[in-house]
């Protein structure tokens, strides 16, 4: 007598039986590509954003002339567009015009070796510089290629069309790709992933089938991934995992096969440093070789948050808003939730060799990401492994018969976790993808508002001084947008303080003021006290601006009392420093009397996102601006 099969999760089993033939179909990858295209259609009609304008200006002589950008300034060449540093002359011009604040350090360098990705952007900006739709389409073509290659890798490693099909769907709709696929300047991450995934697939085919030309091809493709972006380095995480788990050869043979990859990595790093690439002097980026203590310190906080974000809760987007104490608490919470997830998924996945490969690979992939700005858009390589595990988990749950390899607590937890993961991956993530262009447009409009100085033609001869700027990085992005609107551009725009706290300004004489921001310039991220309620908040937007300020000033390489910065319209002398290496007070001496019509003094109203034109106090008096 036959008995009816009993499944631990009958609902998932029934769903699995319905969708299995479709997912196993040869047409499944086409369906996934169509779904991806539909999700990303809104991006095709979005405009340029932030760095896009900086790249675009290099190929627009007409706009350069209107913006009065000197020859050689903001021009790095088609292979070096991601060079955000500058020589001494360009730096001084930028500081004089207000592209960077007067307190910016010329010791801070951010220059990234991404010649292949840079060349693709140069191609676009040369042929269709004013048609963002075509640039977005170009990025989506790379994304489509990534999906196809990832699907091949999933199938090759899992040996199951169904597991690969579920995994690739989850990967394709994951919101971590809204940045790489939706932001033109972030295309480098996609290109690096395309060649990184191809490298792992070639390596697997070469080792498993003993086809050594495939292995040799993997070496070459790995080099190309590194030329696309330093993100290509993360490929090594999965090759390392392959060495430990999938490669079943003798250990000397395994090491011999991966040795060329190690050699390529070392040569790349030596060339990278020799040519002056990398991020140095800044607290925003951490080079693990140059600052190992800082890197290890941040590792304990950022790693669990980055990992949890890749698994399904993109809390990393909030990390810059946290105080150090708040970030530590968030890390502990993420670690606890990841521990619960591991408790329930490990018994299900432990019998699958590829699961160990993907787990080791994604954990290793998170480590180098600690060195960069913590953002969801950097998690593509980690998501590659997360979705491989999630796909295997969902297929196993759908096929799980009693008795399951779980105790009662684990079974209950899995029944709760599985639908949560499905909602996060198949509902929340696609919604985030679809709505991302609108949120990006809102950010872009906010950046435009901070440079909304009107359209008075006299602006071209005026020098603007913002008393309390809401973040210098916003001004740079906003000003680049303004260059393309045809509106008049001020002769210069500079900042008297780094914003947010009340600013005390004492009028010393007709041309001199003494500026003392409460708490000093460039405060570090920390607890913020609400002015209205007096409540101490460990999550606040101000911390984001404080963190981004570290791209200009590093208190570990501080300015000194008596140090003078000479610009065209004013000279500023540092007169006091804080105990932690920040500027506490500065004296500004201007080339003209402060009441000159060519000087405009602006106070930013955060509540209305508008400027108020103000006057400097009379000689001998002090006024507080807030």
Backbone angles phi, psi at 612, to 5 degrees: -115, 130
Classify residue 589: in a domain, yes or no: yes
Same domain? For 456 and 373 the reply is: no
What are the E-state strand segments in 281-356?
none
Rounded Cα gap, residues 361 and 203, in angstroms: 14
- Whether 289 and 316 have beta carbons less than 8 Å apart is answered as no
Same domain? For 91 and 147 the reply is: no
Contacts of residue 278, defined as CB under 8 A and 6 or more positions apart, other chains included, come to 109, 111, 112, 272, 287, 290
- Whether 549 and 497 have beta carbons less than 8 Å apart is answered as no
Tell me the average confidence (pLDDT) per consecutive run of 10 residues in the chain, 626 residues long. Answer: 60 79 90 94 91 86 74 77 79 82 86 94 92 95 97 94 94 94 94 97 93 94 96 96 92 93 96 89 84 88 93 85 90 92 83 89 94 90 95 84 69 84 91 92 86 85 90 78 84 87 93 94 86 80 84 87 92 94 94 93 87 92 91
User: Quick one: how far is CA 607 from the chain centroid?
Assistant: 28
- Whether 135 and 128 have beta carbons less than 8 Å apart is answered as yes
Tokens matching residue 94? 């930028």
Rounded Cα gap, residues 199 and 146, in angstroms: 12
Instruction: Enumerate helices (H) and strands (E) in the chain, giving the number of each.
Output: 21, 14
Strand partners, 622: 506
Predicted TM-score (pTM) of the model is 0.92
Same domain? For 186 and 320 the reply is: yes
Classify residue 3: in a domain, yes or no: no
Rounded Cα gap, residues 242 and 247, in angstroms: 6
Q: Apex CA 171: angle with CA 165 and CA 177, to 5°?
A: 155
DSSP string, 183-225: SGGGHHHHHHHHHHHHHHHHHHHHHHTT-HHHHHHHHHHHHHH
Same domain? For 76 and 211 the reply is: no
- Whether 526 and 327 have beta carbons less than 8 Å apart is answered as no
Classify residue 608: in a domain, yes or no: yes
Q: What is the pLDDT of residue 1?
A: 39
Query: Which sign does the torsion angle of CA 190, 23, 338, 331 carry?
Result: positive
Rounded Cα gap, residues 593 and 588, in angstroms: 12
Count other C-beta atoms under 10 Å from residue 50's C-beta: 21
Q: What is the pLDDT of residue 2?
A: 45
Same domain? For 493 and 400 the reply is: no
Strand partners, 418: none
Classify residue 100: in a domain, yes or no: yes
What is the maximum span of the chain, computed from C-alpha positions, in angstroms?
Answer: 104
Same domain? For 400 and 266 the reply is: yes
Same domain? For 307 and 407 the reply is: yes
Rounded Cα gap, residues 334 and 314, in angstroms: 11
Same domain? For 465 and 611 the reply is: yes
Specify the long-range contacts of residues 214-223, CB closer than 8 Å, at least 24 apart: 215/257, 218/261, 219/260, 219/261, 219/264, 221/195, 222/195, 222/196, 222/261, 222/264, 223/264, 223/268
Rounded Cα gap, residues 461 and 483, in angstroms: 16
Please give the tally of structural domains in the chain: 3
Classify residue 443: in a domain, yes or no: no
Same domain? For 485 and 572 the reply is: yes
Classify residue 6: in a domain, yes or no: no
Tell which of 93, 111, 129 closes a domain.
111
Same domain? For 143 and 264 the reply is: yes
Strands 503-509 and 622-625: antiparallel
Backbone angles phi, psi at 62, to 5 degrees: -60, -45
Match 């199951």 to its residue by tokens.
160
Count other C-beta atoms under 10 Å from residue 243's C-beta: 20
Same domain? For 402 and 475 the reply is: no
Classify residue 444: in a domain, yes or no: no
Strand partners, 586: 515, 574
DSSP string, 493-528: EEESS-SSS-EEEEEEETTEEEEEETT-SSPPS--E
- Whether 557 and 281 have beta carbons less than 8 Å apart is answered as yes
Rounded Cα gap, residues 521 and 103, in angstroms: 9
Among the listed residues 228, 235, 184, the one whose alpha carbon sits nearest the alpha carbon of residue 362: 235
Count other C-beta atoms under 10 Å from residue 119's C-beta: 16
Rounded Cα gap, residues 349 and 389, in angstroms: 8
Tell which of 372, 393, 428 closes a domain.
428
Classify residue 461: in a domain, yes or no: yes
Euclidean distance between the first and the last CA atom of the chain, given in angstroms as a whole number: 84
Query: Which sign does the torsion angle of CA 127, 132, 134, 135 carry?
Result: positive
Rounded Cα gap, residues 401 and 385, in angstroms: 26
Q: DSSP letter at 534? A: -
Same domain? For 219 and 166 the reply is: yes
Among the listed residues 333, 269, 362, 281, the one whose alpha carbon sits nearest the alpha carbon of residue 107: 281
Q: What is the pLDDT of residue 402?
A: 63
Task: Supply the range of the domain harboring residue 486.
Answer: 451-625
């Amino acid at each position: 007598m036959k008995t009816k099969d009993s499944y631990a999760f009958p609902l998932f089993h029934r769903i699995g039986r319905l969708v299995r033939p479709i997912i196993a179909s040869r047409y499944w990858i086409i369906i996934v590509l169509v779904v991806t295209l539909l999700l990303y259609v809104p991006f095709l009609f979005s405009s340029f954003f932030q760095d896009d304008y900086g790249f675009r200006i290099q190929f627009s002589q007409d706009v350069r002339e209107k913006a009065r950008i000197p020859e050689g300034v903001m021009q790095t060449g088609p292979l070096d567009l991601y060079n955000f540093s500058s020589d001494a002359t360009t730096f001084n011009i930028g500081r004089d015009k207000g592209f960077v604040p007067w307190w910016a350090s010329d010791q801070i360098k951010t220059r990234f070796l991404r010649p292949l990705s840079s060349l693709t952007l140069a191609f676009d900006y040369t042929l269709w510089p004013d048609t963002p739709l075509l640039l977005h389409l170009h990025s989506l073509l790379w994304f489509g290629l990534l999906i196809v290659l990832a699907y091949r890798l999933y199938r090759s490693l899992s040996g199951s069309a169904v597991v690969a099909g579920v995994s690739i769907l989850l990967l394709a709709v994951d919101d971590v790709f809204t940045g790489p696929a939706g932001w033109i300047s972030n295309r480098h991450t996609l290109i690096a992933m395309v060649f990184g995934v191809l490298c792992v697939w070639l390596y697997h085919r070469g080792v498993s089938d003993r086809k050594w030309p495939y292995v040799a091809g993997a070496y070459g493709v790995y080099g190309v991934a590194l030329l696309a972006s330093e993100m290509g380095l993360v490929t090594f995480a999965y090759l390392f995992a392959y060495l430990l788990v999938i490669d079943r050869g003798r250990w000397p043979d395994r090491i011999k096969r991966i040795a060329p990859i190690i050699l390529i990595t070392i040569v790349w790093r030596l060339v990278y440093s020799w040519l002056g690439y990398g991020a140095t002097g800044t607290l925003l980026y951490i080079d693990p070789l140059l600052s190992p203590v800082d890197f290890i310190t941040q590792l304990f906080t950022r790693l669990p948050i980055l990992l949890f974000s890749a698994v399904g809760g993109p809390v990393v987007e909030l990390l810059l808003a946290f105080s150090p104490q708040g970030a530590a608490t968030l890390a502990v919470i993420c670690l606890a939730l990841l521990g619960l997830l591991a408790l329930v998924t490990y018994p299900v996945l432990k019998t699958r060799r590829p699961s160990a490969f993907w787990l080791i690979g994604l954990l290793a992939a998170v480590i180098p990401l600690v060195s960069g700005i913590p953002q969801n858009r950097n998690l593509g390589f980690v998501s590659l492994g997360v979705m491989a595990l999630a796909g295997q988990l969902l297929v196993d749950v759908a096929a799980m018969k009693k008795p399951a390899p779980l105790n009662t607590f684990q079974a209950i937890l899995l029944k709760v976790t599985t639908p949560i993961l499905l909602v996060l991956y198949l509902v929340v993530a696609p919604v985030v993808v679809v709505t991302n262009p609108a949120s990006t447009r809102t950010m872009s409009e906010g950046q435009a508002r901070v440079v909304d100085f009107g359209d008075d033609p006299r602006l071209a001869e005026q020098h603007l001084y913002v008393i309390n700027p809401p973040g210098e990085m916003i001004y740079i992005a906003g000003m680049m947008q303004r260059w393309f609107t045809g509106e008049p551009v001020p002769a210069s725009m500079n900042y008297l303080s780094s914003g947010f706290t009340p600013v005390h300004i004492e009028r010393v004489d007709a041309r001199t003021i003494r500026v003392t921001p409460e708490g000093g310039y460039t405060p570090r991220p920390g607890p913020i006290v609400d002015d209205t309620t007096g409540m101490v908040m460990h999550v606040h937007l101000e911390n984001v601006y404080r963190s981004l300020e570290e791209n200009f000033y590093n208190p570990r390489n501080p300015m000194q009392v008596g140090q003078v910065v000479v610009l065209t319209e004013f000279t500023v002398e540092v007169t006091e420093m804080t105990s932690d290496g920040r500027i506490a007070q500065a004296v500004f001496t201007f080339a003209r009397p402060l009441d000159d019509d060519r000087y405009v003094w602006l106070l930013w109203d955060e509540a209305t996102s508008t400027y108020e034109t103000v006057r400097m106090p009379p000689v001998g008096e002090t006024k507080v601006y807030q």
